[in-house]
Copies of this chain bind each other. A is one copy, B any other.
Amino acid sequence: MRIHVQNPAGEEIFPVTPAQWAAALARHPDLGGFAVSFADDDAGFAAAIPEAEVVLTWTKVVKQRFASGELPGVAPKLRVIACTSAGLDRLAPFDWLPPDILLLNNRGTHAAKAGEFALMSLLMLATHIPKITTAQRVERWAPIFGSVLSGRTVCIVGLGSIGGAAARHARHFGMRVLGVRNSPAPHPDCDEVHPTEALDQVLPRAEFLLLACPLTPATRGLIDARRIGLLPHGAKLVNMARGAVWDQDAVCDALDAGQLDGVVTDVAVPEPLPTGHRLWRTPGMLVVPHVSSDDPQTYNDGTLDILFANLRALRDGRPAPNRVDPARGY
């Protein structure tokens, strides 16, 4: 099987290397027979893609290399596109994807780091750190006391590997965890799970609200001014999903009005957030530059383990666990 890894040009931290590939092969001794190529430029892509059956690459590379109408022509043997991101929202709409090419995402790689980020954010909000860093900007010593997490309620929207890890940590610290997702099936780390349609009934109980859902047409603008108004006064908000899942101006307005006590966001519209943007300077808003979930020590090993698990499933005639349904968008 011919596999091509196309790294982005100039990627310094996360390029998938031949050494990482060899180490992953050693972890999966039942898999083999791969002819693998690596490139980060046009020439390497052009040389490999006509014969490639599997491509492992970044969503931004997919978007750039496989514009609508390019496939299957440029890659007639391609069967699998594996992306190194969990959220593939930048590839929507999926009209560029022929129905016989399998699209895989990278859900699962992020759980350990993202779970720690989620817990850190809950602890920071309980401790009023966004207000404290706002005060540091103007060099003002202004004690504001916070309580422990135990006994408080968090609503987690999206219970994939990131939301699930957040739920597990929150429970360990004694929080009551209300999960919200498309299916109301129980989750082992949630006290309750509600369907997305019931979100409005859950929000009034959510002192903490953590967003960890994919960005899809159904979740775009999900947290708008009306829904922020349903939260308890002084609620605390974490966004680990995508900036477009909330109405960014409504969030800033709610911070300015005191309806929200504090916000930690790992995402923004646009990214990179330009100097002078309101998000940077709204008091109580802590802006993290989209680093919540990518651990440079483990990311590529996790990515390759997930790719290999999917290739094993395909070899064995089982469904690929990381298949993305273009109709759902995740």
Contact = CB atoms under 8 A, between A and B. Distances in A.
A127 B266 CA distance: 12
Interface residues of A, number: 55
Contact of A144 (B142, B150, B287, B291): B291
A292 to B, nearest CB: 8
Query: Most chain-B Cβ atoms within 10 A of its Cβ — which of A128, A272, A280, A288?
Result: A288
B149 A116 contact: yes
Given A275-B139, A281-B139, A289-B135, A295 B120 contact: no
Contacts of A144: 289, 291
A113 interface: yes
Contacts of A126: 116
A13 interface: yes
Interface in A228-278: 268, 271-277
A222 to B, nearest CB: 24
A58 to B, nearest CB: 14
A64 interface: no
A117 interface: yes
B112 A120 contact: no
A129 interface: yes
Contacts of A116: 123, 126-127, 148-149, 173
A302 to B, nearest CB: 11
Nearest to A277: B139
Contacts of A274: 141
A137 B136 CA distance: 9
A275 B136 contact: no
A298 interface: yes
A145 B298 contact: no
A123 B117 CA distance: 7
A140 interface: yes
Nearest to A138: B275
A133 interface: yes
A117 to B, nearest CB: 6
A129 B150 CA distance: 24
Given A113-B146, A120-B129, 5 more contacts: A116-B127, A116-B173, A136-B286, A142-B289, A148-B298
Interface of A: 13, 112-113, 116-117, 119-120, 123-124, 126-129, 132-133, 135-150, 172-173, 268, 271-277, 280-281, 286-292, 294-298
Q: Lowest 3 CB-CB distances: which A-B pairs, in order?
A: A141-B272, A120-B123, A139-B280
